[in-house]
Structure 1
Amino acid sequence: MNRHFPKIICSIIILFLFTFSIDAYSQDKISKILDKNYIWNVQDSSIKGDLHVVFRKSFSVAEVSKSATLNLFAYNRFAVFINGKYLMRGPVRFENKGPQYASANIAAYLKKGKNVVVVVVHRFDHTGQIMAHEAGFTALIDLKDAAKRQIKTDNSWKVSPEYAYLNRSFAWSSIRENIDARKMPANYTSCTFNDQSWANAVKVKNLTNFYALRKQELPFLKETIIPNLTINTKPAARLFPISIKQGDTLKVRLPDYYQAYLSLDLQAEAGAVLRLFDKDGELNNTYTTRNGLQNYTTYDTYGTKNFIIYATKGDLKLNRLNLTERTYPFERIGSFQSSDKMLNKLWDRLTRSLQILSEDAYVDCADRERVEWMDCDPPAFDVTRTAMAGPDLNGKKMYADARLLKEMLRRTALSQQPDGRVKAHTASDRWDIHGYMEDRTCDWVEGVRRYYESTGDKAFIKEIWLPVTRQLNWFLERRTERGLVKAREWEVSTNPLRYQVCEGTGLNAFIFKALTDAAYLGKEIGQNEEAAYFGDAAQKLRTAINKYLWNKDKGTYYSAYIDNEAAARKIFAAQKMDISIKDGYAEPTFEAAIFAIDQEVVPKSRLDSMKQFLKNKWDKPYCFMTYYYSFKQMYAENKGKTDEKILDMIRERWKATLDYDWQTAWEHYFEEGSKVHIYGVFPAYFLSAYVLGVRLDGPVWNKKLVIDPRLGNLDYANGDVVTEFGKTSVSWTKTKTGMKFNVTVPKGVTARLKLNGENTVANFRLNNKPKNLKNENGQYYVDITGGEWWGEISYKSGS
């Protein structure tokens, strides 16, 4: 570790070791073949700008077997056609240091005799989800026939530039297209196309920057044709064919907001021009027609509910228009129903928003960036593990599917720089104020522990242990004489100290928790010395926070110690933040207090005064992600009035999302920001985990749940809550004297059923039998096992 070696030498050594461990881990037989056989065409494959190339490979099949596998990868995007039929597009999102190859069974696409595989490879310039890299394409077709043939990428593959793709305008979120179909022959993806005039591919000789491939671990994205489109307010299906004249406008409306790609079947003379644009997103494509029948399918997907097709030149006929949603194959297994129709609808729309924002990554927003930020979790995984299931490799349901979280954690580790810092967002060349974000780093370490306790996957923790330790040591190297870490303060938009370099309470609280999580994880994988080191560092940091940042007079924490008051005041003035500083100490804030409590740096002796400070501050106009931490601590109070307050805050703050046309999660409850953003999804988690009340109790290997319903001011609530063990069904109905309930617990699981501790129990029956409840710290409970349970509780009058 760099506490034992000179910093520069250690950084180089550990970075090499981490890269080597990733490479060694990924080396299966297929990846070794793929790594050696990258091909391209004879034209420029430099690192800058767009390049578009078509590869074709013809081969004969005597007998079609049940299994024939295509393995492939390209820098940085591809679309595959077999005998003219579309197969898939890819690859999954990747850091350049950790590419993953796709593997698909293509037996159903093959036929006896001649077959043709066509791969259109796009080396796009960088965006929010693509990094710049030299061009290259590699593939291995494993026919598994009698001869057990393997077809590798070599100079027998035919290749041509895809000339139809012209210079395009840049968009951060998506890939805009400027297509001139006249520049490429029609049907070049078909098996009948004559490619003899095309050049032969050439082998990529310099593979210095080509990191070892590993097999893709994520399932392929689900592609679903969107029904019930309207064009100019009329059902689209009844309108085709549509004659379009120059100057005509088609207003296409989708029944919901989708992340989708567009496909048009057209008939036109050469030179007609269509413009596709979306005033709410970043779709802004141009298509120029060739002569005759043709198809235009966008490569990328676009987040949209309404878009426009405008004929800028010429006349044409539109024979078909399809939109295909392309998202991670999450299935909503969870459900939520209650006496409040608004909350029911909100749960539905927020879980739907998560599906929209789950591609081969959790992305921050669909309308502006589509970037994987580390702070997409915790809200994304919280909703995933209470509402979703994904397909495992055999097609069975994987409840609380943690694979998107795993890939986010891995890609973040791969983004690590020589000084030990990881980026705030992955698979991107963006470097600005958001390139590094100290706060998102703490989210990352927390996410590593959340993933481990959800899966028990020790191998993965070992895989990224070195990057975790290097990042934490970067923090520890920045401790001041007070023992506090000096870095940029936690960034939530309503935190007055966001981006301020200081010894902040919020950031130090999160670093404490990250160190604590690392100490726990280190013990789990046998790294006892480092675990002890981080555990000791965590306790010393906690002591320093409570010694130097505690404000005795106000019974809470200063928001920060700032050694350069003049510079800080200039920043506050520029940000229009009204916050006072005296003798280097910035006044207490709600954010500092809530983060300190949430990250468990507050001693028990100070909790009462902290709660007094927070009293009447819960529902002030903070940003959404502040409410995420607020709700957790409000529910921890275990009081009915507070439970009601949370539901009232959700009703008020999230009402605008349901009133808006898209009905998707927002970045903030006030008007600014994205209107389909991961930040706003988390009430769906609280409605499932706290109102319905079903939560994992400890790590997954304990096989325990807690069932603790908080109906607040609801008369009833019922639904299904997903956990790693499967689906737990619950139904709660208030009566005049108490509550009736039904609970179905997954087999092999123990659940602690908790019931309202504020009232005195008069009677409790479970499965038609009287049952004595236990009481722990004022909370009534009974332990139940897998199966169906029902009962009724009544409270003494006046309690």
Structure 2
Amino acid sequence: MFKPNHKNVRLGIVLILLNFSFIANAQDRVSKILDKNYIWSVQDTSKRGDLHMVFRKNFVVTDISNRATLNLFAYNRFSVFINGKYLMRGPVRFENKGPEYASINISPYLKKGNNTLVVVVHRFDHTGQIMAHEAGFTAVVELKGTRNTQIKTDDSWKVSPELSYTDRPFAWSSIRENIDARKMPAGYIYPDFKDQSWSNAVKVKNLVNFSSLRKQELPFQRETVISNLIINGKAADMQLPFTIKKGDTLKVSLPDYCQAYLSLDLDAEAGAVLRLFDKDGELNNSYTTRNGLQNYTTFDTYGTKHFTIYAARGSMRLNRLSAIERGYPFKRTGSFASSDKLLNSLWDRLTRSLQILSEDAYDDCADRERVEWMDCDPPAFDVTRTVMQGPDLNGKPMYADTRLLKQMLRRTALSQQPDGRVKAHTCSDRWDIHGYMEDRTCDWVEGVRRYYESSGDKAFIEEMWLPITKQLNWFLARRTGRGLVKAREWEVSTNPLRYQVCEGTGLNAFLYKALADAAYLGKIIRQNKQAIVFDDAARKLRTAINQHLWDKKLGTYYSGYMDDEAAAKKLFAAQHMNINMEDGRAEPTFEAAIFALDQEVVPAARLDSVKKFLKTRLDKPYCFMTYYYSFKQMYAENNNKTDEKILDMIRERWKPMLDYDWQTSWEHYFEEGSKVHVYGIFPAYFFSAYVLGIRLDGPVWAKKLVIDPRLGDLSYASGTVITEFGKVVVSWTKTLKGMKFTVDVPKGVSATLKFNGEHQVADLQLNNKKRELKKARDQFVTPLSGGKWSGSISYRQ
């Protein structure tokens, strides 16, 4: 095992981030080299089960002043050491159809003369982030100089099985470990290790299942050493080193919930056994010591705040204990402060939760799965684009960082099956009731449009177009005689019709929006013929929903049409679902109405009726993601009382998160489900986009913002909102007659300043000049150009 040098960890990550730019032609050239040069050992390379190998390569560098680049990939995990120093872990998670290689500047790690590169490759059996695949490792080191040199993976590399990794218990979220350090010689990562007895690597000959590599687009994950660890109630630094013997238990606490790997320096007798575990069972590792000084560092990370070290056998001296958080290099550049301390704390904890849940993908949860589901967005990108700053791209600050969203969309497309369906989640071999989820597919198409309108990346639409077409045609082939699509309902977990195969209002509403979005995207890339087909299908589907699923008596939508009413009643009874049926249609529900409204299915003449139906049902305990759609519609009312109600609902339903030890976002308002889940983060988006009031107005190329404060019952609110154009610093303070404010609009951007139209405006001052307001629907509006603005508004009493 290895000991990471924490200064080297920080140096390596900084250097990696600074040297991430590349030339497209070089990507193609390197990919071709890597694709042809996979190596392994003579050991088994079969598709299933764990395999662990150590590869070593010694090489000479004559000039360390020139750039040196390491390009590498492995099925399916690796860690890299140069001259005994830890460099990185990888690769980013991938669909087997779309693997990506890492490209890293290693110049600072090299010395003149002999150098040693060591790559420990793990072919772990499949998990929630790993698909089964044959084993293989490929790399090329490029040394620039008067004589450029390439060092490729070939039979000159030395290789040995990493025998200390023994059989392990399965976990869906993380890779558990049973390590027996006695089974491997110490120090194999160091240059002076004698590897003459090791075998030479062999070329992998059968590459039929090895898809072509492309260069990794995501920045590398940031690794941060966590300070202030607590052991048995006291500061760890004040206690270490100390001896632990059989039966001793150390209770370790981190200052915050983290996704981290653990590192321990030990001095032990051979055969002592140490266990690392937490009460939730995701961390459940065992380490058997060799004799003498040694280090145990877990390969994978674990979501944890409290864990236990238990001496199961023998005795040992614990000299050092570290936890290293690993995650996407987001910086929380946004901020939020208001007159309500509870809301301020919530913003802080919810945005921190997004950081925990952002690795090489948006994760659904950190404690149970760590899986990239398409319905991680919304809300993940909503919070990202208003709060987070990513690492610079080509020397420019990356505000509203779209890269995690783009990779999720791409990996979802790569999951497409022969019949046209894409999976509900990526990068795993999981096939159960949630393998396909029809509504997630619609989120995917909508996500492509969200990505395009935030980035302007037309080439990505072209990349996604064929997969989108195939998936939407799968839906269109399932239209019934009523013109509705018959498939499974889901949308949210509290939807009474979840899992039912029917002509559901929720799914058909989502599909309508997906078809409309696809038609829009098709026109952008001049796929006009197919775009017309999707546009026509969208209009016909909207008509069918309003014709066959409208309940005239209640003035809202039935939740779905069931062909066999008797069978449906029997099924509902068996599942203890109290759903009434009428002429084959399941009774109206809140979910059917809110999704019809949100997905723009409701005609103008029916809007008031549907909103009336919803208004009496807002307070019921739905799952969190239902509130995401509810809050959007409530804010659309432009009514201060409704704005106040939203804040009250957040205070009541999100406060338990602050009272819980982890202080992370939850999956559900009620007690069941994950306690660190992406579903619960979205109030942070509403605080930035609606309370502070800064939102994108149209696609990014329009260069427009909306400035529309919704303070509700807050006396003041201020902060920084991140936009695609940069930071917008804003403050709002209520006065006896109105409100005073400051706002900084980015240069080159126009904005529309809006105020609630419930009160008649008496006066608006902007930069000490009176400004006229126009009435637009139920708001007062005025244009702003880029620059700093301070002002006040007063209302007639």
- Shorter-chain TM-score bucket reads over 0.9
Residue 713 of structure 2 is matched in structure 1 by 713
Contact 1:226 1:323 in 2 (8 A): yes
Residue 508 of structure 1 is matched in structure 2 by 508
- Amino acid across the alignment from 1:748: G
| Runs (5+) with no aligned partner, structure 2 | 1-23
Residue 621 of structure 2 is matched in structure 1 by 621
Q: How does 1:571-586 map to 2 (within 5 A)?
A: 571-586=571-586
Residue 547 of structure 1 is matched in structure 2 by 547
- Aligned partners of 2:459, 2:644: CA distance in 1, in Å? 43
Shift of 1:147: 1.6
SS in 2 for 1:559: strand
Residue 457 of structure 2 is matched in structure 1 by 457
Shift of 1:739: 0.3
- Aligned partners of 2:696, 2:469: CA distance in 1, in Å? 28
Residue 200 of structure 1 is matched in structure 2 by 200
- Aligned partners of 2:167, 2:194: CA distance in 1, in Å? 27
Residue 246 of structure 2 is matched in structure 1 by 246
Residue 361 of structure 2 is matched in structure 1 by 361
- Aligned partners of 1:41, 1:334: CA distance in 2, in Å? 49
- Aligned partners of 2:724, 2:597: CA distance in 1, in Å? 28
Contact 1:730 1:741 in 2 (8 A): yes
Residue 685 of structure 2 is matched in structure 1 by 685
1:262 to 2:297 alignment: no
- Aligned partners of 2:760, 2:281: CA distance in 1, in Å? 55
Residue 482 of structure 1 is matched in structure 2 by 482
Residue 14 of structure 1 is matched in structure 2 by none
- Amino acid across the alignment from 1:255: P
SS in 2 for 1:515: helix
- Aligned partners of 1:538, 1:244: CA distance in 2, in Å? 67
1:209-230: CA deviation from partner (whole Å, max 9, x where unpaired): 0000000000000000001100
Shift of 1:206: 0.1
Residue 631 of structure 2 is matched in structure 1 by 631
Contact 2:66 2:145 in 1 (8 A): no
SS in 2 for 1:79: strand
1:64 to 2:64 alignment: yes
TM-score, with length taken from structure 1: 0.96
Shift of 1:395: 5.5
Residue 612 of structure 1 is matched in structure 2 by 612
Contact 1:273 1:287 in 2 (8 A): yes
Contact 1:281 1:367 in 2 (8 A): no
- Aligned partners of 1:559, 1:733: CA distance in 2, in Å? 43
- Aligned partners of 1:669, 1:512: CA distance in 2, in Å? 29
Shift of 1:493: 1.6
1:355-407: CA deviation from partner (whole Å, max 9, x where unpaired): 00000000000000000000000100000000001013445420000000000
- Aligned partners of 2:764, 2:34: CA distance in 1, in Å? 65
Residue 87 of structure 2 is matched in structure 1 by 87
Residue 499 of structure 2 is matched in structure 1 by 499
1:12-31: CA deviation from partner (whole Å, max 9, x where unpaired): xxxxxxxxxxxx99970000
Residue 31 of structure 2 is matched in structure 1 by 31
Residue 53 of structure 1 is matched in structure 2 by 53
SS in 2 for 1:521: helix
- Aligned partners of 1:752, 1:387: CA distance in 2, in Å? 21
1:696 to 2:689 alignment: no
SS in 2 for 1:57: strand
Contact 1:27 1:213 in 2 (8 A): no
- Aligned partners of 1:183, 1:155: CA distance in 2, in Å? 25
- Aligned partners of 1:543, 1:565: CA distance in 2, in Å? 24
Q: How does 1:182-193 map to 2 (within 5 A)?
A: 182-193=182-193
- Aligned partners of 1:428, 1:77: CA distance in 2, in Å? 14
Residue 308 of structure 1 is matched in structure 2 by 308
1:696-726: CA deviation from partner (whole Å, max 9, x where unpaired): 0000000000010000010000000001000
Residue 646 of structure 2 is matched in structure 1 by 646
Contact 1:488 1:499 in 2 (8 A): yes
1:143-179: CA deviation from partner (whole Å, max 9, x where unpaired): 1122210000000000000000000000000000000
- Aligned partners of 1:647, 1:616: CA distance in 2, in Å? 17
Contact 2:715 2:733 in 1 (8 A): yes
- Aligned partners of 1:584, 1:26: CA distance in 2, in Å? 61
Shift of 1:779: 1.1
SS in 2 for 1:625: helix
Contact 1:519 1:535 in 2 (8 A): yes
- Amino acid across the alignment from 1:420: G
| Runs (5+) with no aligned partner, structure 1 | 1-23
- Amino acid across the alignment from 1:307: F
- Aligned partners of 1:784, 1:395: CA distance in 2, in Å? 29
435-444 vs 486-495, greater mean Cα deviation: 486-495
- Aligned partners of 1:567, 1:733: CA distance in 2, in Å? 59
Shift of 1:778: 2.7
- Aligned partners of 1:575, 1:230: CA distance in 2, in Å? 47
764-773 vs 360-369, greater mean Cα deviation: 764-773
Shift of 1:669: 1.1
Residue 11 of structure 2 is matched in structure 1 by none
Q: How does 1:72-83 map to 2 (within 5 A)?
A: 72-83=72-83
1:324-354: CA deviation from partner (whole Å, max 9, x where unpaired): 0000000001000000000000000000000
SS in 2 for 1:568: helix
Percent of counterpart pairs with the same letter? 77
Contact 1:219 1:392 in 2 (8 A): no
- Amino acid across the alignment from 1:526: R
- Aligned partners of 1:50, 1:25: CA distance in 2, in Å? 36
SS in 1 for 2:661: coil
Shift of 1:65: 2.5
- Aligned partners of 1:773, 1:321: CA distance in 2, in Å? 62
Residue 141 of structure 1 is matched in structure 2 by 141
1:741 to 2:751 alignment: no
Contact 2:491 2:506 in 1 (8 A): no
643-652 vs 138-147, greater mean Cα deviation: 138-147
- Aligned partners of 2:229, 2:611: CA distance in 1, in Å? 52
Contact 1:491 1:499 in 2 (8 A): no
SS in 2 for 1:654: helix
SS in 2 for 1:111: coil
1:553-598: CA deviation from partner (whole Å, max 9, x where unpaired): 1100111000022332233234322111122010000000000000
Contact 1:556 1:588 in 2 (8 A): yes
- Aligned partners of 1:285, 1:592: CA distance in 2, in Å? 46
- Amino acid across the alignment from 1:240: L
SS in 1 for 2:747: strand
SS in 2 for 1:558: strand
1:282 to 2:282 alignment: yes
Contact 2:103 2:216 in 1 (8 A): yes
Contact 2:763 2:793 in 1 (8 A): yes
Contact 1:281 1:304 in 2 (8 A): no
SS in 2 for 1:336: strand
1:567 to 2:557 alignment: no
1:207-261: CA deviation from partner (whole Å, max 9, x where unpaired): 0000000000000000000011000011011111121011000100000000000
Aligned residues: 774
TM-score, with length taken from structure 2: 0.96
Residue 439 of structure 1 is matched in structure 2 by 439
Contact 2:638 2:778 in 1 (8 A): no
Contact 1:116 1:190 in 2 (8 A): yes
- Amino acid across the alignment from 1:135: A
Residue 19 of structure 1 is matched in structure 2 by none
SS in 2 for 1:482: coil
SS in 2 for 1:115: strand
Structure 1 runs (4+) deviating above 3 angstroms are 24-27, 393-396
Query: Quick one: structure 1 residues 160 and 395, their matched pair in 2 at CA, closer, same or farther if it must change by over 3 Å?
Result: farther
- Aligned partners of 2:312, 2:573: CA distance in 1, in Å? 48
Contact 2:64 2:112 in 1 (8 A): yes
Question: Over aligned residue pairs, what C-alpha RMSD do you find?
Answer: 1.1
- Aligned partners of 1:541, 1:384: CA distance in 2, in Å? 33
- Amino acid across the alignment from 1:34: L
